[in-house]
A and B are shown apart, each in its own frame.
Chain A
Amino acid sequence: MRHPARLGIALTIALATAGCSTAARDGSRADAESATTASVTSCGSRLSFAGPPKRTVALDQTSTETLLELGLQDRMAGTANLKTKIPAQYESAYAGVPVIAPKIATGEQLRAAGPDFVVAGSADLFTKDRAGTREELAALKVPAFVSAVNCPQRNPAGRTPFELLFSDYENLGEVFGVQERAGKLAAGQRAAVAKAGESAAKAPRGKERPTVVYLYSVFNGMPYVAGRTGLPSEMSRIVGAKNAFDDVNEDWPEVSWEEVAKRNPDFIVIGDLSERGRPGDSAAEKRAAMTGHPVVSKLAAVRDNKILEVPGIELDPSVRSVHALGLLAEGMKDLGYVR
């Protein structure tokens, strides 16, 4: 049932948004704290703000960490859906933020938190059976932000996942009026990506490019590895390696150990998820699974211990991903792929 009144509100917002978008662009030069209006596009929706949000709810861990990295803990009214532990650098800031749901937040939990802004890493948290749709929230004057990284169909073609990640920082900086800090963060991470890319220039090219398998998790004895659409594929490109499962059009496809052996990668990256704490999550367990496998244990990469360990959570796009990228670039050097 559509409420005429509510439809009216939505229309008003839409009109106001149209009016504000130019104002926002003009106001981008203004001082961070004095910004009164802001307007950004997020995954196909135009969001507009009368002032910096004061009660933001982050619906998942990546958005939570991004907001904490931007120093916005005082503007947060809640977090939800923690996949693993919050890293040490955010712990004290995180402690002050209420957890509205340990798992995926429901529409009731979200509304009960009284948010004026909602941020999520992906659009699939905004469904009727979860937090409610973005349209419903818009009608309540609660803009819903979705990370550009998980919005493939709405993004301009050709932008790398890292560029999309940085655009999130800049957009959030705009919304909260902390452009400067967001700009610094983006610039710093851009530099880190560029630095990691330096090794690519010195790595072998063409057919000589080292291939890599990312072992994310082992569930029911089956390995989950990085496919083409996930961030590791892009990370490999940056550091001058090639993801051995680039032919699989998924983020984290489940494959067989035999298939891993068949791809015979030059080196292997293990995602350490020990902080998540489920069976098979630690790097040691994943190592054991490979050395214990009759075929995989015979692979040169396993035999010669050409195995890197990175925090598994950093292999998904987040504010921490450049850290894993750095580890990867270092690892390439240590393994002797960079001349």
Chain B
Amino acid sequence: MRITAEELSWSVAGTPVVRGVSADIAPGETVGLLGPNGSGKSSLLRCLAGLRAPDTGAVRYDGEPVRDWSARRIARHVAFAAQDPGADSDLKAADVVGLGRTPFRDRWHGPDATDRAVVAAALERVGLTALAGRSWKALSGGERQRAHLARALAQQPYALLLDEPTNHLDVRHQLELMELLTGTGQTVLVALHDLSLAARYCDRLLLLHHGRLIASGTPAAVLTAERLAGVFEVDAELTTDALGHPAVTYRGPLGTPAEASRPTP
């Protein structure tokens, strides 16, 4: 499914957070959403997932504006996973994945055979079948992220929107998760902090700064030393790694006030 943002703006308590963002995510594409803390990644993602109504501009799914869609209808089109939510639940892993069937169930009926089959398949896909009966509390951080991905998959969406799903994961689990994501063949928009990871797995990148989209394109086109200096305030060098992906080498933070005032030894 194609997701389009048209001149999207959203503010909270009068402070603009997303400013006039226009972007287009093509069907089947994996797009990375980059930007420093507070650049508006999460907010943009939530606007695109229909969780926030933009002040101006429009979100379109396959060209159709979603402003007046019900939450349920949106949920049947896109799945959203927030940053490590819900640490204190008694639900079992399979129950959490089962939540993904919510948009397809009515109030009166419990899960049916289809629901169970979809949940089983989603668990299988993320390799959690063996842990299906385990309590959420007893799952590790990596297992929880995978369970959330399975929950999103169980929604059988046309697009996945994920907010920093690799947070708190070790390298192996980060790689596993990204492999899983790109392996779905879905339209994926994923907010990421790790630039190298984004460069390695995404077809295209969107770079946000102070709520504005300042660059979009292939990883090689978006990730330049100048941009990293201007947006992330780091002194970085861009090279190509052994697999042919852009790789970021950080020399250090650029002269922040703290840096400047620190006495030299």
In the complex they form, do A and B come into direct contact, defined as C-beta atoms under 8 angstroms apart?
Answer: no
